[in-house]
Amino acid sequence: MVKVKLKSGHEIYLDGQLVPVLDTLVYNLPNDWDFVILITGDRMVRTGKSVCAMSICAYLADKLGTKYDTDNVFFDSQSMMDAAQKLPKNSVIQYDEAREGLAAIKTMKTVQQDLIDFFNECGQLNHIFVLVMPDFFSMKEEIAVGRSEMLINVYRKNVKVMRRMYKEDLERPVIRFDRGFFELFNRTKKKTLYDISRATRKKSYQLIKANINGRFTNYYPLDREIYISKKKAALARFAERKDKEKEVETNEFRNKWISFMMKDHTAKQTQEEMSKWSKPLGERRIQEISLENKRNERSNAQLPIIT
pLDDT digits (tens, 9 = 90+) for 257-280: 666 655 654 444 555 555 555 555
CA distance 117 to 133: 17
Distances in Å between the Cα of 297 and the Cα atoms of 259, 260, 264, 279, 282 are 10, 12, 16, 25, 23
User: For the domain with range 2-222, which CATH number is right: 3.40.50.2000, 3.40.50.300, 3.60.9.10, 3.40.630.40?
Assistant: 3.40.50.300
Give percent of the chain above pLDDT 90.
61
pLDDT digits (tens, 9 = 90+) for 78-87: 899 999 999 9
pLDDT digits (tens, 9 = 90+) for 226-259: 999 988 888 776 656 555 555 555 566 566 666 6
pLDDT digits (tens, 9 = 90+) for 1-23: 999 999 989 999 999 999 999 99
- 3-state secondary structure (DSSP) of residue 232: helix
User: Is cis: bond before 280, omega within 30 of 0?
Assistant: yes
